[in-house]
Structure 1
Amino acid sequence: MSLKHNLLACARLLGLFRMARWLTRGRPRILAYHGIWLGDGHFGNHLFMSPQRFCRRLELLAQWGYPVVSLEDAVSASTPIPPAATVITIDDGWVGTYRHMVPALARHGYPATVYLATYYSQKQRPVVDVALQYLFSGECDLPPHIDIPGATAGSVPLGTPQQRAEAQSRVEALMAALPDDDQRQALLESLVREAGLDWSRVWKDRWFHLMSAEEVADAASRGICFELHTHRHRVVSAGHSCLSREIADNRAVIVAETGREPRHFCYPSGIYDRSMWSELESAGVASATTTAMGLYRRGDNRYEIPRIMDGEAVSELEFEAEMSGVLELLRLLRRSLPIGAGVSGSGVEAERASSP
């Protein structure tokens, strides 16, 4: 067992988890998930989770007595919420979310928010950049070399993680130079065939698809609240902000598919700066969540809301430590000490970034 695990186990045994929960009882716990992995083995940590682990998380929330409330209630300073109120947020809107998370949430009667990126939802094509990450992740069997279509380097070795990362970087550069998603999809399919993978199965089982319009409408009818995540999962295009247009396009699709006006926003890939806040205000956005780890303090900046980034590799003990507030108190202590000055970030794996 790791030193961290042993220290957390001692803290729980000494009653520090209970104490931290009481001390942080007024701070909502906003959980962040992405999707459920539909393929072989497992791919991703904070990006995809196994259905079994997600169901277990919901069981633990009930077992530990964390009341699950809506995002709207949690971020509204005027709405009373119970101590240690918990919010469940899910980014992107993957098919695995629809197939596994939505039914599990319904069984528990838990409200949840899905921040939907609508471009690939409408197109019903694989999300190219995530499929590329999988292809070069080492989670699938690859030949020792691969020819990258359109590249001049010839056969590229794939034997080590560094070589796969270099190959992925080359492909991403090629993708970025292509004028539209049709050509990016064609390049992706060529790479998959070159690697010897069964693309027809990946496509048929929709490993890298987002929910369709029909699935979004059905999930909304079952209590899922769909909110803003930009249309094309980006906030910058050609070096300039495209946030307002992305929100407008995103909102139009969500209204058409669910019949309700989304009011809350999640920064794609957690990328944001203060210059965006005036645009969010003008767009009528009520709150914006980040990928920064932490508990939300009601009344703090509503466009810089931290979350608890849960993942497949997060143990139950670590999850309990985050929910209790022990790790939040440790983060606050670290920031208050001189040694913590200038230290930022949570160490959490960043969400995928895409630019159709």
Structure 2
Amino acid sequence: MYHAVTRDPRPTTHALSVSPRAFTDQMRLLADRGFTPVTTARLAAAWRGGSPLPLHPVLITFDDGYEGVHRHALPVLAEHGFPATLFVSTGWLLGPYETGGAPDTMLDWRQVRELAESGMEIGGHSHTHPQLDQLTDEQLWFEVLCCREIIGEQLGRAPVSFAYPYGYSSRRVRRTVHQAGFAQSLAVGNALARPAQGPYALERVTVRRSTGLREFERLVDGREVAWNFARDHVLTKGYALLRRSRRLVRMVKQDLLPSAASVP
């Protein structure tokens, strides 16, 4: 799981960015080691009984929609003939639907179309990148459906894959993503994706600016994944409990507040 690919990231994206040089070295390592990248849709289709996966499959994904995916990542992917999946937050992209609040320089829709034409799968990542599990049902439907409809309008075909912003989901969120028409979705989890996780909770491993090439090799081999992200797992589980508690508190407060009609 990648985010920004840039030489000079803003402070808001620095930790989750990679340099163009690091990305180039990482893709070369995949090629030299005989890995075969597939898209999210291809992975899910294979696990649903479609054509079998190639030997040493790997998923290369980008979240949010940063401009460096087009400027820096695309030429490297094209050099190796690697497919990938880009999950875009439609309200963050430059263009008619822009909502502001993007943490760094984003793609515009012309660039997204060029990425799609190059063979990159374009998936959904919500409209404004909220924590989906904290939203009301109405807000959740808007974020998921609006994102899917905009991508479909811009590319001429609706996306089939989704990635949860921040990796946060719940049974309600996963059900909504399914009902909105997405066939599969990705979390974070910092673990290898496996069929037992189900098509709406597939996990990924985070590649950070601090990820050296030797560590990257161990991660794609599946070695020391649990060890490298042990602290992340603990924090993620703890924060998930905290967020669920916050949402329950908000729901209780809303039920206890008097309606507008009853206020004198």
Fold shared by both chains (TM-score > 0.5): yes
Q: What does 1:274-289 align with in structure 2 at a 5 Å threshold?
A: 274-289=171-186
Deviations along 1:319-343, one digit per CA (max 9) or x if unpaired, are 11111111247589x8xxxxx9x94
Is 1:233 equivalent to 2:129 in the alignment? yes
Q: What count of residue pairs does the alignment treat as equivalent?
A: 232
Specify the code of the residue in structure 2 equivalent to 1:115: F
Of 75, 78, 82, which aligns to 1:106?
78
**1:230 Cα offset (Å):** 0.6
Structure 2 Cα separation of the partners of residues 109 and 277 of structure 1: 32
**1:307 Cα offset (Å):** 0.4
Specify the code of the residue in structure 1 equivalent to 2:179: S
Residues 1:44 and 1:277: Cα distance change in structure 2 (over 3 Å): closer
Structure 1 Cα separation of the partners of residues 21 and 224 of structure 2: 25
Residues 1:343 and 1:120: Cα distance change in structure 2 (over 3 Å): closer
Q: Residues 66 and 107 of structure 2 are in contact (CA less than 8 Å); yes or no, is this contact kept in structure 1?
A: yes
Residues 1:238 and 1:285: Cα distance change in structure 2 (over 3 Å): closer
Q: Residues 94 and 211 of structure 1 are in contact (CA less than 8 Å); yes or no, is this contact kept in structure 2?
A: yes
Structure-1 residue corresponding to 2:41? 72
Residues 1:85 and 1:237: Cα distance change in structure 2 (over 3 Å): closer
Residues 1:236 and 1:291: Cα distance change in structure 2 (over 3 Å): closer
Residues 1:237 and 1:324: Cα distance change in structure 2 (over 3 Å): closer
Structure 1 Cα separation of the partners of residues 180 and 59 of structure 2: 24
**1:37 Cα offset (Å):** 2.2
Structure 1 Cα separation of the partners of residues 158 and 102 of structure 2: 29
Secondary structure of 1:251 counterpart: helix
Q: Larger Rg: 1 or 2?
A: 1
Structure 2 Cα separation of the partners of residues 268 and 251 of structure 1: 14
**1:314 Cα offset (Å):** 0.6
**1:47 Cα offset (Å):** 2.4
Q: What does 1:65-214 align with in structure 2 at a 5 Å threshold?
A: 65-76=34-45, 77=47, 78-79=49-50, 80-121=52-93, 122-123=95-96, 128=101, 130=103, 208-214=104-110
Specify the code of the residue in structure 1 equivalent to 2:109: A
Q: How high is the TM-score relative to the length of structure 2?
A: 0.78
Q: Residues 64 and 89 of structure 2 are in contact (CA less than 8 Å); yes or no, is this contact kept in structure 1?
A: yes
CA-based RMSD of the aligned residues comes to: 3.0
Of 211, 215, 218, which aligns to 1:321?
218
Q: Which runs of 5+ in 1 are unaligned?
A: 1-31, 131-207, 335-339, 347-356
Specify the code of the residue in structure 1 equivalent to 2:161: H
Identity of aligned residues (%): 26
**1:40 Cα offset (Å):** 7.2
Of 115, 118, 126, which aligns to 1:219?
115
Structure 1 Cα separation of the partners of residues 195 and 162 of structure 2: 17
Residues 1:239 and 1:221: Cα distance change in structure 2 (over 3 Å): closer
Structure-2 residue corresponding to 1:307? 204
Q: Residues 292 and 307 of structure 1 are in contact (CA less than 8 Å); yes or no, is this contact kept in structure 2?
A: yes
Is 1:295 equivalent to 2:178 in the alignment? no
**1:33 Cα offset (Å):** 0.3
Specify the code of the residue in structure 1 equivalent to 2:22: R
